[in-house]
């Protein structure tokens, strides 16, 4: 078929880009040293601080979120120094891979997929071993759908050590509450293709005074991601090297829309689509991979398919019949869970669409415990209740 | 809210434009006498013949469908000559308004809203009065959702008179089967913003040899819409006056996609979304304004709201909560029906979305006879059955 519904991304990134942002992205690039672009860049720098809820500098890199993770470590930790990584899935574990590659001395603490860390876990680890330069963790573990309680984990880390706290907020920023300064986080990183409703290509890194101080004593801070180079360009509304001009102009538009709505409204919308997904799956009798509502990410909902139903078949059917993409599990979880993204410019309308299509696929795959309309009916009820 | 779902048009035109067509529309215009544009124009002329299922010429006007209706009459009927208009709603009645304005002698035959003409009706009318130069009718009456049986009506007209047969196929072309030559229709008109998946601005007029012969004897054939001027430009891939270049390039892309899929697949898709809408409304206990499935337009479904439920409220809620636009009734039917469009680039996915949202609005408006999920469940069943 040539005539088909435009693709609908229900994955935890890249997320859909609103038409108003696409229009800006379609404009011809302007020079990155022009006064027009400097004004845009200054606006972006200011707005990024608001997103991270920080008064401290936020750097913008033309890179993926992984680049910003490397930036955090390479700028602050010397080879041979101790790094603790709290891993609860593929993305939090990446901190360890990066740190090892950079020659750091890594302690990797892993918990089973689908679980979050507790402050007690952290206290136990830090009582057993000390001397960490940095503790790396994640807020929303995209591979499992877990939301770590970053506020209390950061407090526990600070109580039991002097380590810097680095948080991967790639899929949590602008979806789950995150308060960099208030919580005392030292570095937080994110990327444009997530809650920012912008295509991939930009990474953001918010940095505390403590982390900047560590950077000043770092012997191997790297070049492209170097904090000093980036910091000194902020004042003049520039970046040290040529940035992705078009993406940044689109990002400024997206951030403007986000500021107009406010963080509370954005969090509430994510919570609503998340609740719709979770309630629909429960009503269909399916098991949620993260059972606790509080420890579930507002960016992505992981679901265990019914016995005998293939994740590949569901995903292929959703794509072919409806033009909808949802995610498979990753690594060990491939085929064991499917993941419905609800991050960024995703609305209750999209969730009704996805759930009614998904329900058809489950039915076609032989799972017929409940009549058609059951899952989407549950989501409709959640939506109706949200208006009461 | 600045961040909201992009608008979703579930009205019988303008219809959604696929991303692949939008991309072409966004290109800078080229000269309308350039060889590149002539090639596009030739392609469009050929493809339009296929859509109308005719070997006879199809003219393209930069105008709305109403312009093409005027073109049909002004080019073939002299002032004072007799015209029969078979009116079953706002749009079919427009033939009479145009003919009167042009000084023609109009016999207006009206049937109640929601009804279609039968061949017996037509035979009765033509036995009671003769001498018509043209009989004007409509295939899909957009204001009520009726689909006239044009094939048998045309046969009845030809059996009982020598009149030319003019059919408004504005919202039926590329949605319901229409075979210009096989059925013996003399003029058929349509517009870009309907089944053609292109923005408004272009009108099409297919013309038979008989209608061209009538044109040659017409004393007041007008200027802009003149058949002779348009006919002689077809060979060279031109239009007599500057056309809407960008729209035509987008149209060519849309027609290419339509040809690749084939008419059968396009009709089938319209039938499916129509059935989903009709079955969902029936399951909710709502009355369809056109009871017969056979006489219901595959472009639009008209529904009588439950007692006490305001069409305005439903439409406002759909727009505000979901970004979805459906249509009100027109003229006497304002507030008495709502109309769900399913014309052009509308897919089962869109119908699931719209029905689940509409069901929420009905529920919020106090209509709670059935649990949430009932309407969309019925539509899901129709879709599942279509795959069996």
Instruction: Give the pLDDT of residue A113.
Output: 98
Structure confidence at residue B112 (pLDDT): 98
User: What's the confidence (pLDDT) of residue B387?
Assistant: 84
Does position B1 have pLDDT exceeding 90, yes or no? Answer: no
Q: At what angle do helices B35-52 and B245-261 cross, to 10 degrees?
A: 50
**Looking at chain A, which residue has its C-alpha nearest residue B8?**
A349
pLDDT on residue A387: 84
Is A349 in contact with B380 (Cβ distance < 8 A)? no
Q: Which residue of A has its CA nearest to B266?
A: A3
Share of chain A above pLDDT 70, in %: 100
pLDDT score of A21: 97
- Residue B93 φ/ψ, nearest 5 degrees: -70, -25
Determine the residue among A373, A378, A383 to mutate to test chain B binding: the one whose Cβ has the most chain B Cβ atoms within 10 Å: A373
The two three-digit tokens of residue B188, written as one number: 């058929």
Put simply, whether B275 touches A (Cβ < 8 Å) is no
Distance between CA atoms of B104 and B80, rounded to whole angstroms? Answer: 5
Q: State pLDDT tens for residues B165-224.
A: 999 999 999 999 999 999 999 999 999 999 999 999 999 999 999 999 999 999 999 999
pLDDT for B8: 97
pLDDT in tens, A233-284: 999 999 999 999 999 999 999 999 999 999 999 999 999 999 999 999 999 9
Q: What is the ipTM of this complex?
A: 0.91
Do B377 and A372 make contact, defined as CB atoms within 8 angstroms?
yes
Does the pLDDT of residue A167 top 80, yes or no? yes
- Report the residue of B372, B378, B387 to disrupt the A interface, i.e. the one with the largest count of A CBs within 10 Å: B372
B89: left (phi over 0), alpha (psi -120 to 50) or beta: left
pLDDT at B388 over 90: no
Residues of B in contact with A3 (CB under 8 A): 18, 197, 257-258, 261, 266, 269, 345
Model confidence pLDDT, tens digit, residues A86-130: 999 999 999 999 999 999 999 999 999 999 999 999 999 999 999
d(CA B348, CA B280): 13
Mean pLDDT of chain A, nearest integer: 97
Please tell me the distance from the alpha carbon of residue B351 to that of residue B272, in angstroms, as a whole number.
10
B48 min Cα distance to partner chain A (Å) = 17
Q: Does B27 touch chain A (CB under 8 A)?
A: no
Interface contact A372-B356, CB threshold 8 A = no
CA distance A77 to A82: 8
φ/ψ of A189, rounded to 5, equals: -130, 150
Mean pLDDT of A322-349: 98
For residue B242, is pLDDT > 80?
yes
B184 at A interface, C-beta within 8 A:
no
Q: What burial letters (b/e) apply to A53-80, b meaning 16+ CB within 10 Å?
A: bbebbbbbbbbbbbbbbbbbbbbbbbee
Cis check for the bond before B98: say yes or no (omega within 30 of 0).
no
Residues 6+ positions from A22 with CB-CB distance below 8 Å: A250
Phi-psi region of B278 (alpha: psi -120 to 50; beta: other; left: phi over 0): alpha
Size of interface A-B (CB pairs under 8 A): 133
> What's the pLDDT tens digit per position in B249-270?
999 999 999 999 999 999 999 9
- Residue A388, pLDDT score: 72
The answer for A 186-205 residues in CB contact with B (under 8 A) is 197
β-bridge mates for residue A204, sequence order: A60, A190
Is the pLDDT score of B162 beyond 90? yes
Q: From the candidates B254, B277, B373, which should be mutated to test the interface with A, based on the most A CB atoms within 10 A?
A: B373
Give the β-pairing of B187-191 and B164-168.
parallel
pLDDT of res. A219: 96
Give the pLDDT confidence score for residue B151 in this predicted structure. Answer: 98
Between strands B300-304 and B58-62, the pairing is: unpaired
List of chain B residues whose C-beta atoms are within 8 Å of the C-beta of residue A323: 347, 349
Question: Is A28 at the interface with chain B, CB within 8 A?
Answer: no
Nearest-neighbour CA in chain B from A378: distance (Å) = 8
Q: How far apart are the first and last CA of chain A?
A: 42
Q: Is A371 on the interface with B (CB under 8 A)?
A: yes
Radius of gyration of chain B (CA): 21
Torsion angles phi and psi, residue B381, rounded to 5: -65, -40
Contact A12, A327 (CB under 8 A): yes
> Peptide bond before B14: cis, by omega within 30 degrees of 0?
yes
Distance between CA atoms of residues A180 and B104, nearest Å: 77
Contacts of residue B360 in chain A, CB cutoff 8 Å?
380, 383-384
Asked whether the beta carbons of residue B8 and residue A349 sit closer than 8 angstroms, the reply is: yes
Query: What is the structure's pLDDT at A1?
Result: 84
Backbone angles phi, psi at A60, to 5 degrees: -120, 125
Tell me the pLDDT tens digit for each residue of B74-131: 999 999 999 999 999 999 999 999 999 999 999 999 999 999 999 999 999 999 999 9
Residue A343: pLDDT over 80? yes
Closest CA to B283 of B373, B180, B357, B347: B373
CB contact under 8 A, A371 and B377: yes
Exposure b/e, A131-161, CB count within 10 A at least 16 = b: ebbbbbbbbbbbbbbbbbbbbebbbbbbebb
pLDDT on residue A57: 97
Whether the CB of A363 is below 8 Å from some CB of chain B: the reply is yes
Name residues whose C-beta falls within 8 Å of residue B285's C-beta, 6 or more positions apart in sequence. Answer: B306, B369, B370
- A349–B352 C-beta distance less than 8 A: no
* B4 lies within 8 A of chain A by CB: yes
């Amino acid at each position: 078929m040539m005539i088909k519904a435009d693709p609908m991304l229900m994955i935890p990134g890249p997320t859909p880009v609103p038409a108003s942002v696409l229009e800006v992205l379609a404009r011809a690039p302007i020079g990155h040293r022009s006064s027009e672009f400097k004004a845009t860049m200054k606006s972006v720098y200011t707005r990024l601080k608001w997103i991270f809820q920080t008064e401290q500098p936020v750097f913008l890199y033309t890179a993926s979120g992984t680049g910003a993770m490397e930036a955090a470590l390479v700028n602050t930790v010397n080879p041979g120094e101790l790094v603790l990584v709290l891993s609860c899935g593929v993305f939090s574990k990446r901190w360890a891979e990066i740190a090892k590659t950079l020659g750091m001395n890594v302690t990797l603490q892993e918990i089973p997929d689908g679980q979050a860390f507790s402050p007690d876990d952290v206290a136990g680890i830090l009582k057993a071993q000390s001397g960490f330069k940095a503790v790396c963790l994640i807020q929303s573990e995209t591979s499992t759908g877990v939301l770590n309680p970053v506020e209390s984990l950061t407090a526990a880390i600070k109580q039991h050590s002097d380590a810097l706290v680095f948080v991967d907020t790639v899929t949590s920023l602008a979806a789950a509450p995150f308060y960099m300064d208030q919580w005392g986080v030292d570095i937080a990183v994110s990327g444009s293709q997530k809650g920012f409703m912008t295509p991939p290509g930009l990474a953001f890194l918010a940095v505390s005074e403590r982390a900047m101080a560590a950077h000043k004593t770092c012997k191997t801070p790297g070049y492209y991601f170097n904090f000093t180079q980036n910091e000194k360009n902020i004042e003049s509304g520039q970046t040290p090297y040529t940035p992705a001009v078009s993406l940044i102009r689109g990002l400024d538009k997206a951030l403007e829309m986000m500021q107009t709505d406010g963080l509370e409204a954005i969090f509430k919308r994510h919570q609503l689509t998340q609740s719709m997904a979770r309630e629909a799956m429960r009503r269909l009798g399916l098991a949620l991979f993260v059972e606790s509502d509080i420890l579930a990410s507002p960016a992505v909902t992981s679901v265990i398919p019914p016995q005998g139903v293939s994740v590949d078949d569901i995903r292929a059917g959703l794509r072919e019949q409806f033009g909808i993409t949802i995610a498979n599990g990753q690594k060990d979880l491939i085929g064991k869970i499917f993941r419905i993204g609800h991050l960024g410019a995703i609305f209750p309308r999209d969730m009704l669409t996805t759930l009614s299509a998904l329900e058809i696929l489950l039915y076609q795959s032989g799972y017929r415990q409940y009549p058609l309309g059951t899952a989407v009916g549950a989501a409709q009820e959640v939506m109706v209740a949200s208006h009461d």
